[in-house]
Amino acid sequence: MEQCEQLVKEVYKHFDASHDFQHIERVRKNAFDIAISEPTANKEIIELAVLLHDVSDPKYTSGEGKLEEDRIIQELNLSAEKIDQIKKVIKSISFNGGNEAFADTIEAKIVRDADRLDAIGAVGIARTFAYGGAKGRKLYDATETPRDNMSVEEYRTKVTASVTHFYEKLLKLADGMQTEKGKELAKERHAFMELFLQNLRIETGEHI
């Protein structure tokens, strides 16, 4: 685990603050908190999947990330069975504009919930604007219409204002939580985002 952590840190240090190693640490904490209520879950698979889940993020890797993911996994000298389990968990995490893969194991459900908890609430708000700032995006745009249905390509390529991202993804995440603990933890974070958007509308005078 220590070897994996050191290897992924070298990758995440090149990402912006929305997907740096602090994000990984928060997701790991979320996952461990959820796993307490899921005694059958394999903690080793969960932690390795958390550590590795963003090294292949196409927002930063332009398609080269899978090679990096495979390189790190091979250095860990894991069994073929564990590698398969880890990759299945990682594959199930991404939202992909609503075109997400099915989380069919308790480990996948835990890691997905843990990652999505970090995308909502106070931290989620901070991460959204950190990413938007890094990409030079507007804070908000009252003329934009959030999309309900989109392909993975449309989701990843269309440039939108940061607030639009709340409506296209973040406000949908609480309803999609897979574990009971994840659902419980998501409620307060979701409510905080709604309050934030309400105040933003008041302060800007915009229908956003």
pLDDT tens, 129-148? 999 999 999 999 999 999 99
DSSP state of 92: T
Spatial separation of the C-alpha atoms in residues 70 and 48, rounded to whole Å: 13
**66 has pLDDT over 80:** no
> Helix 180-204 and helix 106-117: axis angle, to 10°?
20
Spatial separation of the C-alpha atoms in residues 97 and 19, rounded to whole Å: 18
Give the domain 2-204 fold: Hypothetical protein af1432 (1.10.3210)
pTM value is 0.94
Query: Residue 145 is inside which H or E element, if any?
Result: none
**62 has pLDDT over 70:** no
Q: Provide the residue ranges of all domains of the chain, joining segments of one domain with +.
A: 2-204
**53 has pLDDT over 60:** yes
Average pLDDT over residues 199-208: 96
Task: Give the pLDDT confidence of 89-143 residue by residue, as tens digits.
Answer: 999 998 988 888 899 999 999 999 999 999 999 999 999 999 999 999 999 999 9
End-to-end alpha-carbon separation of the chain, Å? Answer: 44
**12 has pLDDT over 60:** yes
